[in-house]
Structure 1
Amino acid sequence: MESSVSVPADLAGSLIRKSKQGLVLWAEGFREACCLHRVFIYCFRSRQLAVRTGQCFLLNGFIFLGSIFLLKSVIVPALQWILPDQCPQITSEDSRSCGGILEFYNFLRLGLVQLFYVFWFFPLYILSFILSNIWYNDIAKHGFFAIEEYGASGTKLTDQKESQTSQKTVSKAKSTDFEGVMIGIAEQIYSVLLLTFFFLEVYVIGFIPYIGKALNFLLLSWMYAYYCFEYKWNLSGLSLDKRLDFFETNWAFFAGFGSPCALAIFLFSPLVSYGVMAILFPLFVLTATGSEADKIVSLPRTKWRGAGLGRVPIFYVADYVSTKILTLLPTQQGRATPENKAL
């Protein structure tokens, strides 16, 4: 009797400990994402970083979001005043003609707004998407080198140490031998496929009744967290299999880190949420670049005597589909290996 009672008690105690550990890691990830003061420090260290960050704010904040505000606050009310949707006090004899005029006004007003979208918002959206993705790479690179240049203590390194650090970073990020280059290209192709199918998975899960929105928010949090840290991992030369292993093992931390990013998707309309995310994303990239995630996630394990939460196969479906597609390509070995699945 005592043994049968102790087993559920031990199981309940284990679940409570893991829940506490998961909440602590989630809170640590959320806190790391909100350490936006790092952005000002890194921009102060690097003029190129400050310029690129300012360009993102100017294009996506002032121009893109400003255009949406101008449309909703000025243009639409002006069209409503010029082309009203209600007739003044009229007699019953004029009601039929007034209805036809109102239909024409509604059609004309809607058409003018659609023209504004077609000839301004959609081209601006495409331009913003292209330039922002180019600038995100530059922001991550300048932020990464700004951190490497000053070291962990925050004091500027000497010229010799700075040169050695830059050369070490570049040698990690870019391999000169042919095999290393091919593995790097293969990993990039696989990474693009993996994230593409994961994005489709997130989109489809959102349509599940009752729990779809909650799962969608969780997966979006992981997706944006991975996007933010991927820049740092690319620059530091971390292999793809190690990235996925570290990410899926510390899923609670990354769920917390990506939560502020996912909130913008749920709080605003699609067009506004894109503009808000285009402003916030480079900031979270910089906070991820300056985050020492490996040290942060090891603290709860020490407190709970090394007990981990276990690995969650977040990218299992996307990995399975991506691997099946890549196996259709001609390869030397005829199969995808765990280290370089795209070869």
Structure 2
Amino acid sequence: MEASKPPGITTSAAKLKLAAFLWLEGFKEACCLHRVVILCSRSRKLLVRTGQCFLLNGFIFLGSLFVLNSVVIPTLQWILPDQCSQFDSQKICDIGGSLKFYSFLRSGLIQFLYVFWFYPLYVFSIVLSTLWYNDIAKYGYDAMGRSKSTKEESSSQIKSSEKPNTSHIKRLSGLGGVMIGIGEQVYSILLLSVFFLKVYATGFIPFIGKVLNFLLLSWMYAYYNFEYKWNFNEVALDRRLDYFESSWAFFAGFGSPCVLAIFFFSPLVSYGIMAILFPLFVLTATGSRAEQEISFEKSKWRGARVGRLPIFYIADKVS
């Protein structure tokens, strides 16, 4: 007879399989970009805002970078060469300061373009895109035809997945509710800012830094994607964090396609690609049934629980 596996090994294997299935479900959920087409077909305002976001970040911003790298810099290299073989006259090449002067002039012109064109365009894109993202999420949410009962159902599903002894802030009506809402938004911004610094710091860790950076970025973008939906559903901040950390495998999978698209590019190119893709993933998150998917996968693995992972522990303590 074959020896039975110890209970601890069996439980660990079941948890690992459940985490893998949840990650895969999150990845598949993020790739359901057909929802963007459906929502845009229902709302002209959403279609216009999404088109404006693509025009600004894709055509203008990324197009400008493409023109710089493919046209401007090669032209400057031809006009102001830095190698003797590129000079027609050997006399010019014999002058020692010519190469240094041409190199300095070329670098100065490129930096001039960055300072007075690309960096202002970068800041302008961030500010305007942030405003547009909120509009896109709102129009997408309206296009879903969310009713009050749907809102309460989504909130209750998140609440039911939490621990029974978890204490939550009860939303008040009137001025008290407004103050709590403002406080949650300010704290959320501070929390995510500290978390972003942690993501940035992991990139400098030898050997495993890139892997940790990818994982933390996946969680960060997944949270950003779902935050708009949770805001419209009026889910309290502590419930969001508890639900997110309890379903960490699903959200790691959901954020992975977003990070894969930008992970191997330069910072400016990565921003341009992200600025195009981010509203698409926001709409995908808005139209998703993440609560049902997570509950369904967990129900298939009776007795197995991936457990809560304190993703925001450090950021929460610092905040």
Judging changes above 3 Å, is the alpha-carbon distance between structure 1 residues 168 and 10 closer, same or farther for their aligned structure 2 residues? closer
- Give the secondary-structure state (helix, strand or coil) at the position aligned to 1:311: coil
| TM-fit CA distance, 1:26 | 0.4
CA, structure 1 residues 95+247, in 2 after alignment: closer, same or farther (shift >3 Å)?
Answer: same
In 2, Cα distance between equivalents of 1:272 and 1:145: 32
Match of 1:245 among 226, 242, 247: 242
Matches within 5 A, 1:2-21: 9-21=6-18
Identity of aligned residues (%): 64
Query: 3-state DSSP class of the match of 1:268?
Result: coil
Tell me which of the two structures has the higher relative contact order, counting C-alpha pairs closer than 8 angstroms and 6 or more residues apart.
2
Task: Describe the superposition over 1:289-342 as per-residue Cα deviations: whole angstroms up to 9, x where unpaired.
Answer: 0111110001121111152210000000000111xxxxxxxxxxxxxxxxxxxx
Does residue 113 of structure 2 align to residue 116 of structure 1? yes
Note the alpha carbon deviations across 1:255-310, whole angstroms, 9 max, x for none: 00001111233221000000000000000000000111110001121111152210
Contact 2:93/2:99 (CA < 8 Å) preserved in 1?
no
Q: Does structure 2 retain, via aligned residues, the 8 Å contact 1:206–1:213?
A: yes
1:292 aligns with 2:280: no
- Whole-angstrom CA distance in 1 between matches of 2:129 and 2:211: 29
AA aligned opposite 1:54: G
Which residue of the other structure, out of 182, 191, 194, is the alignment partner of 2:191?
194
Question: Is 1:100 the counterpart of 2:97 in the alignment?
Answer: yes
TM-score of the superposed pair, with normalisation by structure 1? 0.83
Match of 1:155?
none
Contact 1:39 1:283 in 2 (8 A): yes
For 1:23 and 1:317, locate their aligned partners in 2 and report how far apart those are by CA, in whole Å: 25
Deviations 1:130-170 (A, max 9, x none): 00000000000000010026xxxxxxxxxxxx7x779999x
What's the counterpart of residue 261 of structure 2? Answer: 264
Q: 1:167 to 1:199 in 2, by over 3 A?
A: closer
Name the amino acid aligned to 2:7.
Answer: D
Partner in structure 1 of residue 211 of structure 2: 214
* Whole-angstrom CA distance in 2 between matches of 1:126 and 1:55: 16
Instruction: Report if the CA contact (8 A) 2:53-2:129 is conserved.
Output: yes
Tell me which amino acid in the other structure corresponds to 2:30.
Answer: A
1:95 shift after superposition: 5.1
* C-alpha separation in 1, matches of 2:72 and 2:62: 14
Shift of the 114–44 alpha-carbon distance from structure 1 to 2, 3 Å rule, reads same
Query: Is residue 50–residue 136 contact of structure 2 (8 Å, CA) maintained in 1?
Result: yes
Which residue identity does 1:123 align to in structure 2? P
Residue 312 of structure 1 aligns to a residue whose secondary structure is coil
Q: Matches of 2:223 and 2:89 in 1, distance apart?
A: 62
Instruction: Give the whole-Å Cα distance in 2 for the aligned partners of 1:15 and 1:307.
Output: 9
For residues 106 and 189 of structure 1, do their structure 2 counterparts lie closer, same or farther at Cα, with a shift above 3 Å needed?
same
SS at match of 2:145: helix
- The CA distance in 2 between the partners of 1:74 and 1:56, in whole Å, is 25
1:78–1:95 CA distance, 2 compared to 1 (3 A): closer
> Matched residue pairs, number?
299
Q: Distance in 1 between matches of 2:228 and 2:63?
A: 29
Q: Structure 1 stretches of 5 or more lacking a match?
A: 150-161, 323-343
Q: Counterpart of 1:107 in structure 2: which amino acid?
A: F
Aligned to 2:61: 64
| Contact 2:152/2:233 (8 A) holds in 1 | no
Question: CA separation in 1, counterparts of 2:99 and 2:306?
Answer: 63
Preserved CA contact (<8 Å) 1:83 1:106: yes
Pick the aligned partner of 1:47 from 44, 47, 50.
44
Any idea what the Cα deviations from partners look like across 1:35-63, whole Å, max 9, x if unmatched? Answer: 11110110000011001000000000000
Which position in structure 1 is the counterpart of 2:32?
A: 35
State the partner residue of 2:159: none
**1:66 corresponds to which letter in structure 2?**
G
What is the distance in 2 between the residues matched to 1:188 and 1:315?
A: 16
Aligned match for 2:131, one of 124, 131, 134: 134
8 Å CA contact 2:62, 2:272 repeated in 1: yes
Distance 1:206-1:125 versus aligned 2 partners, 3 A rule = same
The residue number in structure 2 matching 1:338 is none
Equivalence for 2:163: none
Q: Which residue of 1 aligns with 2:318?
A: 321
Residue identity matched to 1:318: A
Contact 1:194 1:318 in 2 (8 A): yes
> Match for residue 174 of structure 2?
177
Aligned-pair Cα RMSD in Å: 2.2
Q: Does structure 2 retain, via aligned residues, the 8 Å contact 1:148–1:165? A: no
